[in-house]
Amino acid sequence: MRQQNKYNQKVLISQEQIQESVHAMGERIAADYGDDPLTIIGCLKGSFIFMADLVRAIPRPLHIDFIEVSSYGNELSSSGNVRIVKDFKHPVQDSHVLIVEDIVDTGLTFDFLFEHIRLKKPTSLEIAALLVRSTVDLKKRPVKYHGFTIGEEYVVGYGLDAAGLYRNLNHVAVFEQ
């Protein structure tokens, strides 16, 4: 049986499990890119906690930037339309780029970000995500680095929110309304 957090939500992925996964992912990223220039672009707001831990786990110089897109607003379900709220500024042409996402869910944001950044002609473009839904077709949407595969439950914590709340939890929990 899963443990409960103080909000009476089931803890799905503990703080310890997350940190172990993030550390391993950081080591793999560092090995894969060697000394080549690497730009990491975090997708706000959900990725900010994961990204902070991830970049500290990559022992090398990095360019760091952020993009903010929205398809949810303050709702609990996607509108189906992705729009840029804040674009990244660091030039990425002829640089390796790693997009950092909290979760690859429907693939809508993934597709939008991938195409938006690909048009700026990076040397390579990959995705790192803390969570990937089991329903995501990883052949169609390859997520090179990911921490955990989850089902269809609505999750919060470690950057993920429910109408703007619970991002600050140090673990991932199943949201129970």
Half-sphere exposure of 151 (CA within 13 A, CB side): 5
User: Could you tell me if 102 and 46 are in contact, meaning their C-beta atoms sit under 8 angstroms apart?
Assistant: yes
Contact 133, 103 (CB under 8 A): yes
Nearest to 131 by CA among 150, 109, 108, 112: 150
Task: Name the residues annotated as catalytic.
Answer: 105
Spatial contact of 84 and 41, defined as CB atoms under 8 Å apart: no
Which of 33, 90, 38 has its CA nearest to residue 67?
Answer: 90
Peptide bond into 121 cis (omega under 30): no
Return the DSSP state at 4: B
- In angstroms, the Cα distances linking 132 to 6, 29, 39 are 25, 18, 22
C-alpha 117/C-alpha 43 separation (Å) is 12
